[in-house]
Each structure stands twice: as structure tokens, then as C-alpha cells.
Amino acid sequence: MKLKKIGIINSGGDCPGLNTVIDTIVTSLEADYKVLGFYKGFEGLLAKEYLELNSDFTNFFRFQGGTFLKTVNKGNFASKVGSGQIRQIPEEILSKTAKNYHDLGLEGLIVLGGDGTMEIVYQLQRYNLNIIGVPKSMDNDLPGTDFTFGFHTAVEIATEALDRLETVGQSHDRIMILEVMGRWAGWVSLFSGLAGGANIILIPEIDFSWNSITNFLEKRLSLGKKNTLIIAAEGSKLSGGEISSKSLGSKASESSLGGVGDQISQYLNGITHFEARSTNLGHIIRGGSPGSFDRLLSMPLGVHASKLMRARKFGNMVTYEQGKFSQLPIEECVGKLKLVEKTNFHVETGRALGVCFGD
């Protein structure tokens, strides 16, 4: 019997759990489908660069970090330009990608990605591509699902970093600042800040002021608390200010997000009785093997995506809400981000415990 052909694509930034989902899908479907894995996201479909996958091969990568299919978040399919904003991908790119899909005789695609990836999927659907989405985002900013895979591993790494910085701060009576990823959404900073006992948690959704931070630090000093632990998402900014960025060196016309930790450190070191040091975890929180929670999340996400493929329920993204796996139309997951609200239970928990959010 001739097997139907389907494709797997992962797109956007890397994060722990990608290989776990891919392996689960291949293992679940290989008896009835020939599974093609496309290299470097949609670029692989555009260039017809792929390999045929089987579980003997994918099992080897099951719990490795990153993705053996490689990935890109720029190039022909860069659709994400801001907080929930969409860039229209050129018509010739979309039509050629769709032609390759049909020429290869694909029954459908399972696409792993975040908000930018789902925006690409949304634009491709009008070319009669059968697509199922699987939510991936280290930032946990995709609407419609409680958690995305990759997020909890990032939180675990940042929490461990805070635990280590706390002992340094205690030893030297210093203010220790940890900067983590999170341009628009502060979920990583919020969750790891609470879990790691941070005294000040800064997130993009709540602007901070110098007065709020220094008044909080002065109060701690008056209580004999000379060390303070601060965590800041890279997108945190002063009220009325702009997000910090830094030059990429020789690429003078380009810049990357980051630097708010150094900004806070420089300001506080300008005050005589404060001594602050800043550490930026950067890409460390998105590297390495997935933690146990992300493994246990990734596998059923892959299984549910496989069920949707068998049932031909295309145009949906797998969701995880209140302990249950379901699905949601992809169009309901694009053009917006899941941000931390000021009334979020975890924010309220932090405030009840005396955490300063800089406002």
C-alpha cells in the first residue's frame, strides 16, 4: 500500500522540546504516513530541501535540545515585526511554497512554532495547504494555550541562575541583576522571579521608574537587608522610555534587544551606597535539553497533532488548557500576543509577598 505523505516544519527561534515533538509525531504516524522533515523551516519547503524521517532516526534526538531540522527566524518568511503585528509575505514566495507543497503530493503539514510561525501558516492557508499547528515559544506568549513547550525549561534555567546569584549577593552585600529574554511578554521573568525569590521583578507589561526601585532598595537597607535580587525581562523599560538595544558590532545598521540589566546596574552604581552587578543569560535559557515538564508537555502535543492529522482537522493549532489538550482555529492565534496582565494571579502573588514590580 502506498503511504500518504506529510511534512513537518519547525520555524522561528529554537527551544528545548522541538526534537521531542518531532520524534513523537514521526513515531505516532509512520505506520500510515511517509513523513518528510523540511530543513530550516519554510525555507526548506521553498527550496525542496528535506529528508525522510523514521523513528529509528528521530528517537536518537528525542530529548536533545535545539532541532536537527535546523531553523531560521529571518529570510523569506520573516512575518513578525512587532507586538502582534504581521508583515505580508511576498506573493511570489507564498505561491512558490504552495506549488512545492502540491508538487510533492503532501497530504498535510504539521508546523511547530510561535506567533510569527502561525502568522506564516495563516497566510499560506489560502493556497489550500492543509496545516496543523503546534505551539512553541520560550516566551509563552502564544494565545489560546496555557503553556508552550520550551517555556518551563527556560524558567528552570533562569531560576537556577537566580539561586546562584543570590549567594553572590549575600556574600558581597550586592544588588545582583539577572536579565532574561522576553521582548513583549514577561512570563519567563515573572515565573522564574517568583520561583527564584527575586525581590524586584521587571516585565515589559509594567513600566518601571527609578524612584520606585531606589525607594524599595532604601527601605530594604533601613531594614538591614543589604543584598537584593533583581530579574528583568529584556523588554522592560522606564516609564516613557524606550526598550534597550545594543549594536551588533560590525553590522552597524543592525542592533539586538538587550541591555536593560546593564542600564539598571549603571544607574544604581552611580548612587554611592549601592553596589550592583548585572548578568545577562541571553540564549542560554533557550539551549540544552528540555526539562521534565517540557518533555511531558511536548509528547502529548505531538500525539494530539497526530490525531488531528489522521482526522484531517486542518487549520487548527493544538492547545493545552487546564490540563486538557484540544485545538483552536489558527486564525484565532495570530495578530496578538498573550501578555502578562497586571491583575494576573502570579503578579498579585508577588505583590502580596512584598515583591517590587517597579511601578
Query: Is residue 310 very low, low, confident or very high in pLDDT (cuts 50, 70, 90)?
Result: very high
Compute the residue count for the chain: 359
Query: For residue 158, how many C-alpha atoms fall within 13 Å in the half-sphere facing its CB?
Result: 38
* pLDDT over 50 (residue 326): yes
For the ranges 34-38, 162-166, 305-309, 329-333, which has the lowest average pLDDT?
A: 329-333
Question: Which CATH number covers residue 209?
Answer: 3.40.50.460
Output the pTM of the full model.
Answer: 0.91
Q: Flag whether 349 is in a domain.
A: no
Q: Flag whether 14 is in a domain.
A: yes
Q: Flag whether 250 is in a domain.
A: yes
> What is the per-residue pLDDT across 226-236, written as a single tens digit (0 to 9) for each?
999 999 999 99
User: From the CA atom positions of the chain, what is the Rg in Å?
Assistant: 22
Q: What is the mean pLDDT of residues 308-334?
A: 94
Q: Flag whether 122 is in a domain.
A: yes
Do 215 and 203 fall into the same domain?
yes
The secondary structure element, H or E, covering residue 19 is helix 18-29
Q: Flag whether 267 is in a domain.
A: yes
What pLDDT score was predicted for residue 239?
87
Domain count, the chain: 2
Q: What is the mean pLDDT of residues 160-178?
A: 96
Phi and psi torsions of 141, nearest 5°? -105, 15
Query: Is residue 290 very low, low, confident or very high in pLDDT (cuts 50, 70, 90)?
Result: very high
Q: Which residues contact 271 (CB under 8 A, 6 or more apart)?
A: 214
More confident residue, 77 or 193: 193
Do 9 and 135 fall into the same domain?
yes
Query: Is residue 83 very low, low, confident or very high in pLDDT (cuts 50, 70, 90)?
Result: low
- Given 217, 250, 285, the domain boundary residue is 285
Do 125 and 172 fall into the same domain?
no
Do 281 and 175 fall into the same domain?
yes
Do 32 and 144 fall into the same domain?
yes
Q: What is the mean pLDDT of residues 138-158?
A: 95
Do 82 and 161 fall into the same domain?
no
- Given 253, 270, 285, the domain boundary residue is 285
For the ranges 49-53, 79-83, 126-130, 196-200, which has the lowest average pLDDT?
A: 79-83
Tracing cell 539586538 back to the chain, one arrives at 256
Question: Where does residue 26 rank: exposed (0-12), middle (13-18), buried (19+ CB within 10 A)?
Answer: buried
What pLDDT score was predicted for residue 138?
92
Q: Structural domain of residue 309, as residue ranges?
A: 4-150+290-333
Q: What is the mean pLDDT of residues 165-175?
A: 95
* pLDDT over 70 (residue 47): yes
Question: Which CATH number covers residue 130?
Answer: 3.40.50.450
* pLDDT over 50 (residue 323): yes
Do 162 and 250 fall into the same domain?
yes
- Given 285, 315, 345, the domain boundary residue is 285
Q: Flag whether 95 is in a domain.
A: yes
Q: Flag whether 342 is in a domain.
A: no
Any catalytic annotation for residue 359?
no
Q: What is the mean pLDDT of residues 67-76?
A: 90
> What is the per-residue pLDDT across 175-219, written as a single tens digit (0 to 9) for each?
999 999 999 999 999 999 999 999 999 999 999 999 999 999 999
Do 25 and 135 fall into the same domain?
yes
Which among 139, 146, 262, 294 is annotated as catalytic?
A: 139
Q: What is the mean pLDDT of residues 145-172?
A: 96
What pLDDT score was predicted for residue 254?
46
What mean pLDDT is reported for the chain?
92
What pLDDT score was predicted for residue 335?
83
Q: Flag whether 358 is in a domain.
A: no
Q: What is the mean pLDDT of residues 85-108?
A: 91
What pLDDT score was predicted for residue 226?
92
| Measured distance CA(9)–CA(4) in Å, rounded | 17
Do 24 and 129 fall into the same domain?
yes
Do 200 and 92 fall into the same domain?
no
No. of H helices and E strands in the chain? Answer: 11, 13
| Measured distance CA(68)–CA(343) in Å, rounded | 40
What pLDDT score was predicted for residue 324?
93
More confident residue, 81 or 350: 350
Do 103 and 182 fall into the same domain?
no
Do 111 and 222 fall into the same domain?
no
